[in-house]
Amino acid sequence: MTVPEFCEEMAISRSTFDDWRAKQRAPKAIRLPNGALRIRRTDFENWLDTLEDAA
């Protein structure tokens, strides 16, 4: 998924995503050769599971 898709699904701004990434709180992302970031759906779902466990 793209970063805008992630932000839309989480109802957050891009700046919040960037902050989470800087603090290593965002799901793992892949940098493509063109510089764009992508988040695998499985990484996103696993990341959500860890949030559920922490709650």
**Token pair for 44:** 């996103």
Contact 11, 22 (CB under 8 A): no
Instruction: Measure the CA–CA gap between 31 and 2, rounded to whole angstroms.
Output: 11
* Higher pLDDT among residues 53 and 30, named by residue: 30
pTM: 0.87
Q: What is the pLDDT of residue 52?
A: 85
- Parse the chain into domains and list their residue ranges: 3-53
Q: What is the pLDDT of residues 4-46, one digit of tens each?
A: 999 999 999 999 999 999 999 999 999 999 999 999 999 999 9
DSSP 21-32: HHTT-SPP-EE-
